[in-house]
Amino acid sequence: MITKMSADEWIKKYQPEMENGAIKTYETFGEEFSLIKSIEPRRVWTMIAEENSLWIESGYRWVNRMCYVITKNPWEEGKYWDDAIIVDWGSFEDD
């Protein structure tokens, strides 16, 4: 079962790493990706962009990934792929 959360709910519950008042993001390649792979997997989230929408999803994702986010609190056992946690991060317009 997929769980959907608002951004505010997600920030409060999982406590993403912050930097200068914004959520800290990590690249999908190079040294930052090596760091991501060393983190406990249930603390890793993927920001995804598709069809002018942004969302954050629990776990490592490859398709349409923009960046990774690390949280202080891990997501629950059994919540992966089929049981993803999805955070609606809004939409954007292409220029």
8-27: pLDDT as tens digits: 999 999 999 999 999 999 99
Cβ 48 vs Cβ 65: under 8 Å: yes
Among 89, 1, 95, which Cα is nearest to 45's?
Answer: 89
Domain edges within the chain: 3-89
The pairing of strands 3-5 and 85-91 is: parallel
pTM, two decimals, is 0.83
- Binned at pLDDT 50, 70 and 90, residue 36 comes out as very high
Instruction: Convert the pLDDT of each residue in 51-92 to its tens digit.
Output: 888 888 888 888 889 999 999 999 886 555 556 677 777 776
